[in-house]
Amino acid sequence: MNVEWDSLDRATWEGHHREYGSSLQQSWAYGQALQQLGVRIHRASVRVDGQVMGLAQFMVRRIAGYLSLASCTRGPVWHPALPGPSRAEGLSLLKQSLPVPRLRVALFSPDAPASPEVEAETRGLWRVMTGYSTVMLDLTQPLEALRAGLDGKWRNRLAKTEADPSFTTRVEPNLPEAKRLLERETEQRTQRRFQGLPTDFVRAYIEAAPSRAQGFAVSYAQSSKETQAALLFLIHGDTATYHIGWSSEAGRKANAHNLLMWRGIEYLRRIGLKRLDLGGVNSHALPGITRFKLGTGGQVLTLAGSYH
């Protein structure tokens, strides 16, 4: 087994990522977008007898001016045939060969829930953070099954909005609508005093994607030619991640987000995607958003945690 740094071509990376992983944070475009924002990125390929058996994308930042923190979030992306002990060997080689100064901390956050396999992979490492929880929706189900899987109240709100003739909806890789949504996201972050990935990240991600259709989609509702609500999905591999949403007062009263999420699900499934990652859930800090995401019928996925 050996590790090669910053040498794998994009096509090979994306092919492996699409086949065996598909997390947003390990996608090529995610790393390229952060590089455009000044973040240091290193990409490693783990090989066994010359065959790529794992990929690991690290985001590196400096702490206190001298310590480098290298995070492999929701990765590495392993070939399923690689057993746990071999994965543990791969993590050890990645830590040893990481091309950053010696005063460093390497964090790995497997894109999987706690299991004997993850325990074998992380043997010898310390878990330093609990696992992130998200809601994952299986888009390979028939559309009828997806509709039946909606929470009853969620489905009733959807049906009511579907019957409202005052809204027209579209889902497409519409760059002007994406830019308008990002402007409104900036405004609501200021008003509500919350933070997230900078909105410039989305612009950089769209530029880094192979094409607009392979990078994003906006689901938006209009009334009298004015956008009243919108949702943004980022596409990576065979998966999409729900990234941000905004609604006017009229959109909130009409439950526009239920309709836009459903139209988004229809669109993402139609273009061949297999999963929708609805993003983090926290029933204590964000109960309303959590209920909305759970109402789609997706399954809560709690990852194993971060290890050093």
Chain-centre distance for alpha carbon 96: 28
Whether the predicted pLDDT of 152 surpasses 90: yes
CATH level 3 topology of 134-307: Aminopeptidase (3.40.630)
Q: Shortest CA distance to 155 belongs to which of 297, 59, 289?
A: 297
- Prediction pTM value: 0.95
pLDDT digits (tens, 9 = 90+) for 182-222: 999 999 888 777 777 888 999 999 999 999 999 999 999 99
Backbone φ and ψ of 122, nearest 5°: -100, 10
Mark 158-180 as b/e (b = at least 16 C-beta within 10 Å).
beebeeeeebebebebbeebbeb
Query: Strands 133-138, 239-247: parallel, antiparallel or unpaired by DSSP?
Result: unpaired
- Could you state, in order of their start, the residue ranges of all structural domains in the chain? 2-125, 134-307
CATH class of 2-125: alpha beta
Domains 2-125 and 134-307 share a fold: yes
- CA–centroid distance for 35 within its chain: 17
Please give the distance of CA 129 from its chain centroid, rounded to a whole number: 19
- Kindly state the tokens that stand for 295: 């109402």
In the predicted model, what is the mean pLDDT of the chain?
94
16-64 pLDDT, tens digit each? 999 998 899 999 999 999 999 999 999 999 999 999 999 999 999 988 7
Tokens representing residue 120 in the block? 């074998």
pLDDT at 166: 86
What is the rounded (10 degree) CA torsion for 59, 88, 9, 278? Answer: -60
Confidence of residue 286 (pLDDT cuts 50, 70, 90): confident
